[in-house]
Amino acid sequence: MVQSIFITGGASGIGRAVAQHFAAQGWFVGLADVNEAGMAETAALLPTGMSSCHRLDVRDRKAWDAALSAFAEKSGGRLDVLFNNAGIARGGQFADCSTADHDLLIDINFRGVVYGAEAGLPFLRQTPGSCLLNTASAAGIFGPPGLATYAATKFAVRGLTEALDIEWAALGIRVRSLMPGFVNTPLLDITTAGTNQTARQEVQDSGLEFTPLEEVAQTAWLAVHEGKDVHYPVGKTAKRLRFLARWVPGLIRRTMKKEGRAKI
């Protein structure tokens, strides 16, 4: 039986790269997104007959049930991996961000992940050796200024991942997270509140590296198949930040306060 993966945020960026990587290994791929044109573009990059597209707003709990049921009909009932990847970014000082921005970040980046776990559990339970894979972020390792609510949602995903990995162990389900650094995707097109500068420009000006999408996809494959760790940082920045947060968290805090933004 062909193994299957259901990917939210499959229209671009990390979702597209992971879809291509798993499809190349012979997996059936379910793509879910609100961007139907983007999903079609991703599907065109995959082997014929090895994918399905499902319009899904991850904030809609009933839509989750409908999308996963439709996917299961095409995958023979298998859900080997549910990749909770859909997310958005909003930046700027906390006081300059709107309530609408805070709500949207929380609803998509965390509520959508919770809904995915809820809706996916029955399908994961009936698929031996299954895995729930969540996209967190290096911002879930140490909260940087200018990304307060975004970082909070990623910390929440990190906590949910750890708790569910313990709770679901008896069900034979592994739960893992990816924690990438900066990835050059449309998420970095955002303009920081109160400025005309994009997040991409800020990363470049800070001298930080972009993590290649294929490296993220390879790490997703490792997280699903290796099973040794719960969290998988991706890229030099994320790995450096994890080391510093563990051993010298005071240094990170002092540096961030001094410079007014994260320059790790």
Query: Residue 1: what pLDDT?
Result: 78
pLDDT tens-digit profile of 238-251?
888 887 777 676 76
| pLDDT at residue 191 tops 70 | no
Instruction: Give start and end residues of each alpha helix (H) in 25-111.
Output: 36-44, 61-75, 99-106
231-234 and 51-55 beta bridge pairing: unpaired
Query: Residue 238: what pLDDT?
Result: 83
Query: Residue 264: what pLDDT?
Result: 35
Query: Residue 200: what pLDDT?
Result: 41
> For residue 199, what pLDDT band results from cuts at 50, 70 and 90?
very low
Q: Hunting for tokens 């960026």 — which residue is that?
A: 13
Q: Which residues are catalytic?
A: 150
pLDDT tens-digit profile of 133-171?
999 999 999 888 889 999 999 999 999 999 999 999 999
**The CATH number of domain 4-259 is 3.30.300.160:** no
Distance between CA atoms of 162 and 181, rounded to whole angstroms? 20
Smallest CA-to-CA distance from 136 within 171, 163, 176 is with 176
Q: Number of helices and strands (H, E) in the chain?
A: 10, 7
| pLDDT at residue 260 tops 70 | no
Residues in a beta bridge with 191: 198
Instruction: Tell me if residue 18 falls in helix, strand or coil.
Output: helix
In the predicted model, what is the mean pLDDT of the chain?
88
> For residue 203, what pLDDT band results from cuts at 50, 70 and 90?
very low
